[in-house]
Amino acid sequence: MLSEQKKVGSKLELIVTTDKGHYQSLTTSDNDVLSAHALEYARHSKSENTKRAYKAAWRDFEYYAKLNNRQSLPASPETIIEYVVSLTEAKVSTIEVRLAAISSGHRMAGLADPTTFERVKLVVEGIRRTRRTAPDKKAPITHSVLEQLVATLPTTLRGKRDRAILLVGYAGAFRRSELVALDVQDLQLLPDRITVTLRHSKTDQEGAGMVKIIPEIPNDQTCPACALREWLLAAQVCGGAIFRRIDRWGNVMDGRLTDQNVARIIKRAAQSAGLDPAQFSGHSLRSGFITEAANAGVESRDIMAQTGHKSETVMRGYIQDAGRGAMRAAVAALGQKGGE
C-alpha cells in the first residue's frame, strides 16, 4: 500500500495504491479546511518506525489475500479472521501490529474498518488468551552488573566512549535510540550535574521534549557525568552528535552510532566481564535503572520523571527484582524487620 498526492483541477487527492487498484482517501479543494498543509501533517502523524512496521505488515496481508484469492482493500471481517488464524507462528504483538496496519489502511482509504467487527475482536481475544505466555525479558543491568561491565573497559578512546554510553544510558534510563540521537547542544554542563534535553522519544511523538538529570558523583567509578565529560574532552566533540563512530585507527568520525551499536557495546562488555551476553540487550540499561530505583523505594512518579513513561503500568513492566519486592512485602506482613 503506497500513498501519493496528485492535483486534479482545483482539488488535491491523496491516493492509496494497492494490488487491487487506486482508492481515493482524502480530497480537498482550495477552499476546504483540509488543505495540502493538512495532508502534509497527516503524513507526519506517525513515527518513521511505525510507518515502516505498517508498510511491512500491509505487504504481508496483501500477499496473503492474493494467495488466497481474497480482497485486501476493502477486506471483509472473514478475511481478517482467516488471516490472523493463519499466523500460527506469530507472536501476539506481531498480530496486533498487522491488525493496526490493516485498520489504518482502510481508514486512510475512507473505508469501513473490518478489524472493529465484534466477531473479529472475539477471535483476536481468543488468540491472546490461548497464546499468552510470560515474555522473554532480557536481564536488567543493575548497579552491581554495571560496575562489572565498566571495570572491563580499557582507557582507550573507544573505552571512554563505551563507558560514557553505559553510565549515561543507565543513569538517564535512556532508550538506545534516544541515546544515539543526542547532540552536544542538548547538554547543559553544570557543576554538580549535566542536564539533557530529550527533544523526541518513543512516547513523545509531538516533540514536547523532556529534561533528564545526569548526576555528578565525585570519586565514584560509575559517575555518569564524569564519564561523559571525559569522553567529550578526549574526543574533542564540541558540536553535533555526542556518541560517534571510531575507525580502526582510533580516529573519531562524524557519523553518530546507531541503536544496534549500543546493543553490541553492551554485549561486548558483558562478554569481557565473564557474563552471558545473550542475557542482555539495549533495554537492559533502562530496565536496570527502573529495577534499582524501585527496589530502593523511589516513588513511581519520580522514576517516571526520569524515564519519561506516561503509564505507571508500563513502567512497572520493566521492574525485575528477582522476588526482592515480594520478599520485603512478606517480611513486613509477618511483622519482622530486616531484608532478604
Output the nine-digit C-alpha cell for 151.
571495570
Active site residue 175: yes
From the list 70, 229, 283, 324, the catalytic residue is: 283
- What's the rounded Cα separation, in Å, for the pair 139 and 237? 32
The DSSP secondary-structure symbol of 241 reads B
Q: Which residues of 276-305 are buried (b: 16+ CB within 10 A; e: fewer)?
A: ebeebbbbbbbbbbbbbbbbeeeebeebbb
Report residue 57 CA to chain centroid gap: 18
202 in catalytic set: yes
- What's CA 25's distance to the chain center, in Å? 30
- Pick the catalytic residue from 98, 176, 212, 309: 309
User: How far, in Å, CA of 38 to CA of 42, rounded?
Assistant: 6
Is 248 an annotated catalytic residue? no
Element (H, E) at 221: none
Contact in structure between 95 and 138 (CB atoms under 8 Å): no
Q: Where are the beta strands (DSSP E) in the chain?
A: 2-8, 11-18, 21-29, 187-190, 193-198, 210-215, 244-246, 252-256
CA dihedral 197, 201, 205, 208 (to 10 degrees): -20
d(CA 283, CA 138): 8
Catalytic residue (one of 11, 20, 202, 301):
202
**200 tagged catalytic:** no
Catalytic residue among 106, 160, 212, 286: 286
Catalytic residue among 98, 160, 161, 175: 175
Is 283 catalytic? The answer is yes
Q: Which of 23, 54, 83, 318 is catalytic?
A: 318
Q: Cα–Cα distance between 328 and 335 in angstroms, integer?
A: 11
Active-site positions read 175, 202, 283, 286, 309, 318
